[in-house]
A and B are shown apart, each in its own frame.
Chain A
């Protein structure tokens, strides 16, 4: 059986070039970047500074504005909790969206429990919020807007530059979780008015457990109260001995992603379109979720009506994708992102995310189309919902026996 990996939004394999760059920093160059008075420390510090440059360049930032983290969960927490606590005198209101990653939702909920107020914007049915929605939610005591650059499940990209401009105009700090967008679509923190930005190496063919937070130093100078206290590393915003090999990998991954972005986006976007065209040609009753006009080039989220996502994944065999159905959790709750688009639970249960990547080939896509068509037909053959729909029964009018 052929093995195909189409779950690159969950994580990516380390690129061999990245691994190559990292290896010396496990062995001969093992120094602590904070050791200021010997060669081992200097070599490590130099490597960390180079990686800072590499990450900063992708988003048109200054390398002094890059703080190393353990990934986007930490980056988001550092940004959101850090701003909330540092600027509590100014106000305690935060604006975010219902379909953010849990690494934004949960720190915001935590702040609610500490007496902050959070406005949870509703996206439209394609997953976007408008700048007007953000404007209407703004109050005199708003201190932070946190909106993801691109959504991990559906790939939808928010109007980031417009929202950034609004935040500048209203003197509100703007954080974006760019975990899925960094290195995949052009980002310019200056042109887009971004004050804080989280990225993670393992989504761009770097190692897991390392990432960066961009913290604006000028116009305005953003200050954060740290959540990790200690030796005062990273301008006091994130203490702890730096993960030098990981950071070197993060830098190499960022540089490679930036260099290859123009050609890779065309190639991967072409494969994604090929996948959607192939599925739509051979199958009826499928929907594409998200916003095709404003979407990451690598992401395709599809609802296959009348069949359940987990059974689809089982039928796919060794094709790794991810499902909007969460039948494995005791709650039976489908994806809150898809539900956040106003989608019914039944359709959310029928959804699959295909996320392509650097190592995806045309053969992978053709094989995936073939397997998906076979599986959907096999499952529809045994689906009572498909049978009812064929008989013209309106499934929304049926009285189901909920259990």
Chain B
């Protein structure tokens, strides 16, 4: 099975590799997968006060398709609001990267990582919000 040109491009020149300080209140971190399953994705997003994603980073342990899926996901979420980013579908990744059926789980994992990062930052924001006086 040959890899699509887009997978190869993301593999050789991954976008947004790196890490952000997970302790920051405006940084959301999603870590999904497990080493024994052969893939782990860490995807992080940084949001501004309007809940718009101003930066995204990833690190992935996994096959080329998993790396490409997470790299693409970071590109796509940048500039979106959290709610817009939730609309990201794994099937869009499948189409864009021309993933074969056996690699669809890689795109699912990337979607899960985005959702986990969004959930994380939302939770932080809620906790940081001043308690409503009763």
Which A residues fall within an 8 A CB radius of B? Answer: 306-308, 310-311, 314-315, 325, 327-330, 332, 334, 344-346, 349, 381-387, 395, 400-403
Q: Which A residue sits closest to B37, measured CB to CB?
A: A332
Known: A345-B37, A346-B35, A349-B38. A311 touches B105 (CB 8 A): no
Within 8 A of A (CB), among B32-70: 32-42, 58-64, 66-67
Q: Is the CB of B64 within 8 A of A400?
A: no
Residues in A neighbouring B108, C-beta threshold 8 A = 403
Which B residues fall within an 8 A CB radius of A? Answer: 1, 3, 8, 11, 14, 17, 19, 31-42, 58-64, 66-67, 102-103, 105, 108-109, 112, 116
Q: Is the CB of A385 within 8 A of B40?
A: yes
A381 vs B19: C-alpha distance in the bound complex, in angstroms? Answer: 11
A133 vs B61: C-alpha distance in the bound complex, in angstroms? Answer: 38
Known: A310-B63, A327-B62. A387 touches B19 (CB 8 A): yes
From DSSP, what is the main secondary structure of chain A's interface residues? loop
Residues in B neighbouring A386, C-beta threshold 8 A = 61
Residues in B neighbouring A328, C-beta threshold 8 A = 1, 102-103
Known: A310-B64, A311-B62. A403 touches B35 (CB 8 A): no
Partner of A384, one of B1, B37, B59, B63: B59
A325 vs B35: C-alpha distance in the bound complex, in angstroms? Answer: 11
Q: Is the CB of A384 within 8 A of B36?
A: no
Known: A311-B11, A403-B33. A383 touches B38 (CB 8 A): no
Q: Is the CB of A384 within 8 A of B38?
A: no
Instruction: Report, nearest first, the 9 A-B pairs whose CB atoms are least far apart.
Output: A346-B35, A400-B34, A345-B36, A310-B63, A384-B59, A384-B42, A314-B64, A349-B38, A327-B63
Q: Is the CB of A344 within 8 A of B59?
A: no
A314 vs B31: C-alpha distance in the bound complex, in angstroms? Answer: 24
Residues in B neighbouring A327, C-beta threshold 8 A = 38-39, 62-63
A329 vs B40: C-alpha distance in the bound complex, in angstroms? Answer: 17
Partner of B61, one of A306, A314, A330, A345: A306
30 A-B pairs in the complex with CB atoms less than 8 angstroms apart: A308-B38, A308-B39, A308-B61, A308-B63, A310-B63, A314-B11, A314-B63, A325-B63, A327-B63, A328-B1, A345-B35, A346-B35, A382-B17, A382-B59, A382-B60, A382-B67, A383-B59, A384-B31, A384-B42, A384-B59, A384-B61, A385-B61, A386-B61, A387-B42, A400-B35, A401-B31, A402-B37, A403-B32, A403-B33, A403-B105
